[in-house]
Structure 1
């Protein structure tokens, strides 16, 4: 079952437990000081070349300014650790 949160520590912990890092799609950033489209980059053998790793500070600055929420799943239906996540608009 999926959950939604805006809590920074919950998001960071969920991502790091799965070996992920905060990232942005390189071609969508306005400049080097801001993030473009947010993604979580997971280690599936090699990192995605179109993604650029960013700091958690930069990630959460964009996350909050875009009024995003984090939709995620803790376990798969087979009770395995899930990597399912996506960004959705906040309800507020």
Structure 2
């Protein structure tokens, strides 16, 4: 990731960023394991990534994203499609 990385859990910002980079929501084909950060993907090159991906609806993608309490981190670089899904930082007790 670049030094200028932003993170969000906002579904509309995530969807807009992925779609602006000509991506669609996906997951690794047949993935059923619990570690969603390794399972969820966005497919930017429509089958040319070399990975076996299956498309997901945005609703299904975000259901997994929220269920596993992930955050979406992405670069400010307009040309990059590199992003990372990270665990949400727990809020400190008050």
Q: When the two structures are superposed, what TM-score results if normalisation uses the length of structure 1?
A: 0.80
Unaligned runs of 5+ in 2: none
**Matching of residue 38 in structure 1 with residue 36 in structure 2:** no
1:19 corresponds, among 9, 22, 29, to: 22
For the residues of structure 2 that align with 1:16 and 1:72, how far apart are their CA atoms? 13
The number of equivalent residue pairs is 83
- Whether the aligned pair in 1 keeps the contact of 2:11 and 2:62 (CA below 8 Å) is yes
For the residues of structure 2 that align with 1:55 and 1:45, how far apart are their CA atoms? 17
Unaligned runs of 5+ in 1: 31-35
**Matching of residue 9 in structure 1 with residue 12 in structure 2:** yes
SS at match of 2:59: helix
2:66 corresponds, among 64, 67, 71, to: 64
